Amino acid sequence: MSSTRSNRLALASLLIGASLATLSGSAVASGDEPPGAVVESTGDAATAIPLPPAPTVDARAQTVTDIGVGIAVGSSTLAFAVRLVSSVGIDDVAPDGGYAATSAFDQVLFTSGADRIDPAAFDVLMGMTFRQTFAGNGRLTAVEPVGPVAPTNEQLLAFSAVTGNLQGSQAIYPDDAVGVGARWTVEQAVSGESFPVAADYHYELTAIEDGRYTVSVSYTSEFDTVVDGVATAGTVSGLGSINGAVDDPLDVSYRLGQTTDGVVGANAIHVEVTVAVVSTPA
């Protein structure tokens, strides 16, 4: 396999993982307390609500995640789309509003590009279960596989490829209630350890209507780092929105478009990722 194609497929795996952040979160490797939200405005006090909504033990949902990826590296291109279906249930709720949940991969389906990415590498995820722990502000603090009891090396590799980069798209909220017009900023990793790039995520609570809230999110960051041993530099930016029920953290939808432009080794790179997540209470 050529080095260009190898780098391209490695980046594709990276982007799949980063894009699934809203579904699964990511493990926190450092023992340091991550920075919280810097609140610029608390918004309209008359409409203030706590975010994320308070969790309830035994609440369950099904999540459907559609991801589209387009990659151009030099003169080579790669495009594919994947749908991932999972089920999630809240197991425990902490006094501060944090909670633990167990999820299972129910289906992984390449809706296009299966001739370019081997679906079998991700099929082994089906039936795997994993446990996630969230802080009261929505930040995911840990994730680990819990089933099967004795996973195969292939399952662990696929799980690591997905969950190892699930940091960039999680939504993080202020500690106190906020109303329409509230704005806050959180420094977040765009992806996991294999793509060590952070950005200031800018959030705005734009609406609370009919028992649902809408939050816009945007970020831009320049980077100069090393990915899989290859010097990588450029700019990554994202624009998205979150729409959820004010009384159920599992009743939420999320859309994100992320663009990366830069240089990988000696090759110019352009990457576009679109993500649409719909979590429906079961």
pLDDT in tens, 27-75: 333 345 667 899 999 999 999 999 999 999 999 999 998 888 888 888 8
Mean pLDDT of 82-86: 87
5, pLDDT greater than 80: no
Sheet strands side by side (includes 212-227): 38-41, 183-189, 198-209, 212-227, 230-245, 248-264, 267-281, 60-73, 76-93, 99-112, 129-134, 140-147
| Spatial distance between the Cα atoms of 240 and 219, rounded to a whole number of angstroms | 9
Mean pLDDT of 211-239: 90
Where helices occur in 59-203 by DSSP H, the ranges are: 120-123, 153-163
Give the pLDDT of residue 192: 58
AA identity, residue 235: T
Task: Say how far residue 55 (Cα) sits from the centre of its chain.
Answer: 19
The pTM (predicted TM-score) of the whole model is: 0.84
Mean pLDDT of 133-141: 85
Count of C-beta atoms within a 10 Å radius of residue 41: 13
Q: What pLDDT digit, counting tens, does each position of 90-127 carry?
A: 999 999 889 999 989 898 888 887 777 777 767 788 88
Give the pLDDT of residue 77: 87
The domains of the chain, with CATH numbers, are 3-281 (2.30.230)
